[in-house]
Structure formats: structure tokens, C-alpha cells
Amino acid sequence: MFHYRIWLPLTLCTVMAAFAAGCGDEAPVDDSIAEERQMLGDGIPSWLAEIPSNWGCDQTLQGRFKGWDSAHMYRFPGKLDYRYDFVFEGKYPAHKGIVMAVYDTETGDLVAADWAWSNKIKLQYEAEKSIDYLVAVYSIAWQATGNYTLSSRCEIVRYCVEYETLAEDGTPYRNFYAQNVKTYEEGKQLLTEVGPFVNENIQQGSCVAQSTYCEQAYAPVCGDSPEAQTEYGNVCEFKSHVRSMAGRDDQWKGHWDVGPCDATGKLCGGIGGLPCPDGFVCVLDGSYPDAAGSCQPAACTYEGQDYLPGDSFPALDGCNTCSCTDSGMVACTKMACVCNPAEEWWRQYVATDPNTCAVIKYSCPPKTFHFANECGCGCEQDAACPEWINCMPPTDCSQQRADCPYSPVAW
């Protein structure tokens, strides 16, 4: 936030040329208060004496101008997304005036400044980086003598709201939203205006400044940001990208799917038993146990397993055989099987008497379907569901649990 007046003196030399006389000799610096000058940008005047201090938010410094030594500057640790109010109050005569300026220590640029024919001044600056800044104060008329105080007040000016959306039935969409707001209350209001969501967060600082640490070292996902079919090493990298885009445009969203965008041809199998991601099948190059191979797109999914066209596998009922067709459909034989309600984990019997089934009415939960056999009737889930659902952290199993309500869960 720049804060200039058109004829603001930008250096003490300019001030002296305008209001006093002579600007050739630098005043001596008291070694007891002046720190040896460090490597700073060329834009920071060399005659400003940097004074060691332990200064930060909501703290006040006590200083003294000694006439020839009336140009001081102090380091201040600034942080992105914070606004700072610096207040100077001098005990010397007001007609000596005061200038306050803030410098970027990386570039030497003057980023905020103001002046007044007074011995009191207030300057506001919103940090554009998380770096040390230099806050300089000096009198306009030079050679001011007297004590002064320099205080700071800090205020966070941005918060980041994050959340993932859900369908009405609680199914995760894998849509991730990140939006910058000005206050925590504004963030809470935003969350009341969106549909069903999970993993919501309101964090101090803009979205781009949020942490990107992730325990999932490698679990690739395919996202749609910045463009469709963009692959990330894990979901945390994807979310970090969405945050960075929100940092530029104040809000951003993206959708991701588990697994790489295209794993076709990637190495699998071998001694390490390298798996293929969901939707791909490992086609081995040999018949021996440790043979390696390459991932190929699956054509069919049955009982949580992926298959290629032509593959055969046991049916869920334990007595029939299924195969994966070229069209991606699963075709199964239809031999009569002996039913056993105690072992049919994929089913939930409403009644175990065919005569009762003929007279009762019932409805099946979402994602399940009606069945009837010689053992009774009830509801069964999709044949693509696995016998066990892995819910061990950090796996998100909410989608599978919604799709496969009768599969036992392994925690």
C-alpha cells in the first residue's frame, strides 16, 4: 500500500536541499547505537543509521535524536497478508518535522512513506512479502534533538477458506475449493452459503501462503487444473496448486480423480510387485511369478477387480463363471446355485422364506438392488464391490462405503 504525497522528500538530502542548506557531508554516526551497515539495496540511503532492536508486533521502541544523529531505521519482521500501523511520537519541537519511510530489504525499494511538519506521524503498510523491512524515521529540518517512541500494531487482513463438496447423499465429488476472504466471520458466512461439504478449514493468511506439507509421498491423482488431465504426485500437490491459483484470483476450484491421468505402459509386477492404479490391469511379459509387465487400461470391473477383454473369473455367487467382453461388459453363466445366507456377504436378506417373500413389500437402500432365490429375498449390492473395503489412514473410503454398503470395512 503506497502512501505518497507528490512533493514528499524521498531522502534526507532532498529534504535538506529544500528546507535547509548544504548536502555534501554526512553527519558522524554514534558507534554505540549504529550497527555496521549490512548489504542492502542501493535504494536505501547510506546515511540512515540502522539501530539494533528487538522489535515486532504490538511493541514500542524508545529512541533519541541527538541533533547530528537524527536519522534512524529499525528492522521489522513483516509477514504476507498482514497490515502494519507504525506510529512515531517525538519529544522535540514540532517545527522540526518528521519523515517516516518503509524499505524492502531485498530490493532496497521504498514501499511506503509519509511526512508532516509535526513531531507525530502514522504510516500504514500492507506487507507484500514475508521478509524483514526497514522502518526509517528522521526529522525534516535536520538536527532535531529529543526522545521519541516508535510503536507498531499488526492486523491480519486475509483468511483462506477451504472445503470439498458432497452430493446430497454424502458422496464426495472430489471438488476442492479455496477462496480468500478478509475476515474470519466472512469465512464462516461463506460456508453457510455452499452446499454439503467436508474437510472445511478457515486459516489465517491467504490461500497461497498455506502449508503444503503432505504425508502422502506418492499417490498420483489426475486433476482438471490448470487444464484437464493434469497429473500430480499426490492430492496435496493438487490442492497446493488450487491454493496458488486462489492467491492470484482470490478464489479457485478443481476436481481430482485417484490415479494417474494415463498409466498405459507404466512398469508393474516384477520382484517388487508394483501395482497399477485403479482402472488399469498389469499385463505380465512372462508367466513366471516375478515377471514384470506394463499397465493397460481395464475394460471391466467386477467385485472391485479390474479385468481385460477375454479374462475369465469366478462369479460372486461362487458357482458361476464370468468373463470380460470386448465391449467392457461382464457376462456370467446362469447355473442354479445353492444359496447360503450366512456366507453371502454381498446380500442382506429381508426374509429367508420364499412364501413370506411372496406377500411382503420392501425397498432397497441406494446403490443396492432387489433379489429373490430359493433361500428368500432382500437387497444386494453391485457385483463390482470388493469383499473388504480398506479404510486404513490416509485412505478416503467414504465413496466405496456409500457405493458398497454391505462390504465389511477394514480399519
Domain of 65, CATH number, reads 2.60.120.380
Band (41; pLDDT cuts 50, 70, 90): low
For 19, phi then psi, to 5°, come to -120, -10
pLDDT at 409 over 50: yes
Statement to judge: residues 60 and 86 lie in one domain: yes
Minimum mean pLDDT among 8-22, 140-154, 216-230: which range? Answer: 8-22
pLDDT at 35 over 50: no
Average pLDDT of the residues in 402-410: 87
Minimum mean pLDDT among 2-16, 97-111, 278-292: which range? Answer: 2-16
Average pLDDT of the residues in 401-407: 90
Structure-model confidence comparison of residues 234 and 9, the more confident one: 234
Q: Do 175 and 238 contact (CB within 8 A), yes or no?
A: no
Statement to judge: residues 62 and 167 lie in one domain: no
Last residue of a domain, one of 134, 156, 178: 156
DSSP 190: H
Q: Do 123 and 102 contact (CB within 8 A), yes or no?
A: yes
Domain containing 189 equals 159-258
Statement to judge: residues 252 and 379 lie in one domain: no
Q: What confidence score (pLDDT) does residue 206 get?
A: 87
Rounded percentage of the chain residues whose pLDDT exceeds 70: 85
Question: Residue 107 falls within a domain, yes or no?
Answer: yes
pLDDT at 32 over 60: no
pLDDT at 31 over 70: no
Average pLDDT of the residues in 274-294: 82
Q: Can you count the helices (H) and strands (E) in the chain?
A: 5, 28
Q: What confidence score (pLDDT) does residue 249 get?
A: 67
Length of the chain equals 411
Average pLDDT of the residues in 204-222: 78
Statement to judge: residues 212 and 326 lie in one domain: no
Statement to judge: residues 150 and 188 lie in one domain: no
Number of domains in the chain: 4
pLDDT at 317 over 60: yes
Band (383; pLDDT cuts 50, 70, 90): confident
Band (33; pLDDT cuts 50, 70, 90): very low
pTM: predicted TM-score of the whole model, two decimal places: 0.49
Minimum mean pLDDT among 9-13, 52-56, 108-112, 226-230: which range? Answer: 9-13
pLDDT tens for 62-98 read 999 998 888 999 999 998 889 999 999 999 999 999 9
Structure-model confidence comparison of residues 194 and 213, the more confident one: 194
pLDDT tens for 135-188 read 999 999 878 999 999 999 999 998 999 999 887 667 777 899 999 998 899 999
- Distance, CA of 59 to CA of 36 (rounded, Å): 24
Band (44; pLDDT cuts 50, 70, 90): confident
For residue 26, the number of C-alpha atoms closer than 13 Å in the C-beta half-sphere is 10
Q: What confidence score (pLDDT) does residue 12 get?
A: 40
pLDDT at 213 over 80: no
Statement to judge: residues 190 and 251 lie in one domain: yes
Q: Do 272 and 252 contact (CB within 8 A), yes or no?
A: no
Question: Residue 292 falls within a domain, yes or no?
Answer: no
Statement to judge: residues 212 and 238 lie in one domain: yes
Question: Residue 265 falls within a domain, yes or no?
Answer: no
Last residue of a domain, one of 156, 190, 218: 156
Question: Residue 88 falls within a domain, yes or no?
Answer: yes
Q: What confidence score (pLDDT) does residue 34 get?
A: 36
Average pLDDT of the residues in 270-290: 81
Statement to judge: residues 118 and 231 lie in one domain: no
Q: What confidence score (pLDDT) does residue 250 get?
A: 82
Minimum mean pLDDT among 32-46, 273-287, 389-403: which range? Answer: 32-46
Band (28; pLDDT cuts 50, 70, 90): very low
Average pLDDT of the residues in 304-311: 84
Statement to judge: residues 363 and 350 lie in one domain: yes
What does the mean pLDDT of the chain come to? 82
Q: What confidence score (pLDDT) does residue 216 get?
A: 61
Structure-model confidence comparison of residues 382 and 217, the more confident one: 382
C-alpha cell at 139: 526529522
Last residue of a domain, one of 322, 337, 352: 337
- Distance, CA of 365 to CA of 380 (rounded, Å): 9
- Distance, CA of 278 to CA of 294 (rounded, Å): 14
Question: Residue 241 falls within a domain, yes or no?
Answer: yes
Statement to judge: residues 25 and 151 lie in one domain: yes
* 148: amino acid identity, one letter: Y
Structure-model confidence comparison of residues 306 and 176, the more confident one: 176
Dihedral, 385, 389, 395, 399 alpha carbons, nearest 10: 40
Band (104; pLDDT cuts 50, 70, 90): very high
Question: Residue 272 falls within a domain, yes or no?
Answer: no
Question: Residue 291 falls within a domain, yes or no?
Answer: no
Statement to judge: residues 45 and 104 lie in one domain: yes
Q: Do 89 and 149 contact (CB within 8 A), yes or no?
A: yes
Statement to judge: residues 173 and 208 lie in one domain: yes
Question: Residue 373 falls within a domain, yes or no?
Answer: yes
Q: What confidence score (pLDDT) does residue 40 get?
A: 53
